[in-house]
Amino acid sequence: MTDKKSIRRSQNRDEYVSRINRVIDYIGSNIDKELTLSRISEIANFSPYHFHRIFGAFVGETLTQYTNRIRVEKAAGLLVVHKKRSVTDIAFDCGFSSSAAFARSFKEFFGMSASEWKAGGHIEFRKKRKAVSKTMQEIDKKGKEFDISSYYIEADIFQQKWRINMTNTKMKIDVEVKELQDIPVAYIRHIGPYAGNTSLFEKLFNDLFKWAGPRNLLDFPETKVMAVYYDDPSVTDESKLRLDVCISVKPDTEVDGEIGKTTIKGGKYAIGHFELSPDEYPAAWKALYAGWLPESGYQPDDGPCFENYLNDPKEHPENKCVVDICIPVKPL
């Protein structure tokens, strides 16, 4: 049974790698064209909503960073081979929208202008830097930092759970896939940066609780306390990131002012169970996207992810938050 599970997990990861490779091949063959998220996620057969996280988890760069790097590197090669061609023509042939955008990207990547590179700067650069195939090395490494096992409990419903041991930390994570019902919520919305800002989260939740308390809407532990994330921080500018801090409410609850009401859609969710310090959240999300998903037999479904907070960190012996990270999923 163990061997069969290992084979199945390997096949699941191979499918993820195959899809990412298709994207890399497509980008390489169409670098001179506009590369839209809708088209690239279609090539990968992943939901556009979650594609950026999956690509970044496997490749080690965001889609934008990867595409820009490939364009700059191709231009650098053409500048050396085709010395009589203008820098502007090569920039457009490599998919840059303007010569100014190309000039900025080239200088940031190589530390010199395209003209300096063309005039011989490339020789000195190559002496200092040994060429490596970064992307494929990154893809091959992803997953090796995770040790994943699966086991079954509750034989009457044959519920599967997974255990993830992160090899470079002491973090251990349990993951299960469950069907969730619709959750009506009242929320306060924040637009802007939030990563690692515990004081911001405290203020938002305090404001929400101050509104909910007098209305008898807080009945812990039945009342769920959550944060819903609508954007991927690796893609969306942090000034535009959308975050809702929420509490579960009855469907007929009336809201007013800055308090809104919506419904977190039910369906099949992967739920990772964690105990986290504020600085451990990025590693937890990475464990799910880069560690668990590729070997699970699932892929992300459309819809936002959310965190469900299960304790007051101030009452935890290590001041950690007991939290479930929930990702909508569907079969691979």
One DSSP character per residue, 233-278 reads: TTTS-GGG-EEEEEEE--TT----TT-EEEEE--EEEEEEEEEE-G
> Of 85, 115, 139, which one is at a domain's C-terminal end?
139
What is the span of the domain harbouring residue 118? 2-139
> Of 84, 115, 139, which one is at a domain's C-terminal end?
139
Give per-10-residue mean pLDDT for the chain (332 aa). Answer: 63 83 86 88 87 84 87 86 85 90 90 87 71 49 60 53 70 86 94 88 95 95 94 75 93 91 93 91 87 87 91 90 94 86
Q: Which residues pair with 247 in a beta bridge?
A: 186, 225
Three-state SS for 154?
coil
The per-residue pLDDT for 127 is 67
Residue 206 and residue 269 in one domain = yes
Measure Cα distances from 127 to 119, 121, 124 in Å: 16, 10, 5
The per-residue pLDDT for 132 is 38
Q: Which residues pair with 145 in a beta bridge?
A: none
pTM above 0.85, yes or no: no
Residue 150 and residue 101 in one domain = no
Count of structural domains, the chain: 2
Q: If we measure between CA atoms, which residue out of 37, 26, 46, 43 comes closest to residue 294? A: 46
Residue 45 and residue 150 in one domain = no
Cα(269)–Cα(231) distance, integer angstroms: 18
